[in-house]
Structure 1
Amino acid sequence: MTSDDVTLIAAGIAATASLVALGFNIWNHRSSETRAALRVILAPVVDELGERIHEVVAMSTMMSKADSEQSRLKWREQAAAAAEKLKRARRRVRYSLWGLDEGLRTLARTPDWISHLSAAPVSAKQLLDASGELAEALDEAVRSAYLTGRPPKQKDVKKADAAADKVRSLRDRIMGTDSSKRR
């Protein structure tokens, strides 16, 4: 092997390394642009979404604990307003937070379901506990998506879906309905 051959091999290796580095830089730049774009989409709504997720559960809890019909009605109106705001926020992030839509829809229905359980405080508490777990799963998924700049992780989507299924199946069992036929 001559020195010209060694030089040619070294130049080939350097060119290959440069092409690999260029490809990695292009991929990395595109990936960072995608993450930045998702954060821009989520930034205006992430705080509202976080507030509404927990507000729906909090207002529903207060409604279930109200000791008078007037107080219950007041909390019902506030819970319904929070649920409506959650529905609006859900529509704004439906595609950027793909996979969390059903969990957000289920959580937004919680005040309606709790309002029908005023005579059954034990059942209302079970439904509220399950809704709280759903709220935590959704909050965690939204926070993670915003911080990483990526759509929700599959494990976070599955956790939120499982929590939403638990809420709906508990509601079906308590109220004697079957929501699986309505999907």
Structure 2
Amino acid sequence: MTTLLQINIDEGTATLAAAIIAAIFSLLTLLSTRPTEIRAANRKTLETYIPELSDAVHQMIAISNILLKNKTEESRGNWRQKAEDAKSKLKEIRPKIRYSLWGLEDYILSLSRLPDFTLYTLDDIEVAKKVVKRGTRLGDSLDNCIRKCYLNGRTPRFYELWILKYYRWHFTNTRNNYKAKRKTDS
């Protein structure tokens, strides 16, 4: 029998080698479980606000559609109050989810203006329909982004923020163009 390599290890060296191997495995375990823990923490932070947030987003869209269809000022007044309630709920939730849903704050604020923009543009029903259509698209996209963030325990992706930015621009631009046209007509 031939020995190619003979290593003599004393007790202290063996203990040191075992400690190094244990430390390496501990570090690998920590690095592999960290993303899971972060996702769980993000979900836990959001789960208290998700029902209220989704309800408020849905109400903004639904109330704006109803305002568009209402014919009497009395009926619009009733829905205006409901819109204010939903808007205040959104504004109350917004700072609480700021860090969990980093980057969505401005889009939530823009969506809270949907009923106001709808009421402002009701003199021109075609513009009001565009405002509601584009506001609905913004709201649906925002709702979908929030859902994905919650399910995956993450913050919004850069491409989701770009899409929301485009939809917000489209939404506010419709109202701003109407406002500019109204000023020149006066």
TM-score by length of 1: 0.83
Corresponding residue for 1:137?
141
Aligned to 1:106: 110
Aligned with 1:97: secondary structure? coil
SS in 2 for 1:176: helix
Count of aligned pairs between the two proteins:
171
Deviation at 1:23?
3.4
Contact 2:103 2:156 in 1 (8 A): yes
Q: Who is 1:176 aligned against? A: 180
Classify the secondary structure of the residue corresponding to 2:101.
coil
CA-based RMSD of the aligned residues comes to 2.4
Q: Deviations over 1:40-70 (max 9, x none)?
A: 1100101111111111011011112111110
> Would you say the 8 A contact 1:64–1:72 is kept in 2?
no
TM superposition shift of 1:174: 1.5
Deviation, 1:16, is 9.3
Q: Which residue of 2 aligns with 1:49?
A: 53
TM-score by length of 2: 0.82
**Residue in 1 that maps onto 2:4:** 2
Give 1:30's aligned residue.
34
Is the contact made by 1:100 and 1:161 (CA closer than 8 Å) also made in structure 2?
A: no
Higher-Rg member (1/2):
2
Shift of 1:20: 6.1
Identity score, percent = 29
Q: 1:167 to 1:16 in 2, by over 3 A?
A: farther
Point out the more displaced range, 98-107 or 88-97: 88-97
In structure 2, runs of 5+ residues without a counterpart are 8-18, 182-186
Q: What is the match of residue 121 of structure 2?
A: 117
8 A contact 1:90–1:101 mirrored in 2: yes
1:102, 1:161 within 8 Å by CA — same for their partners in 2?
no
Sort the Cα spacing of 1:173 and 1:4 in 2 relative to 1 into closer, same or farther, 3 A. farther
CA distance in 1, matches of 2:29, 2:174: 50
Structure (1 or 2) with the greater helix fraction: 1
Match of 1:164 in 2: 168
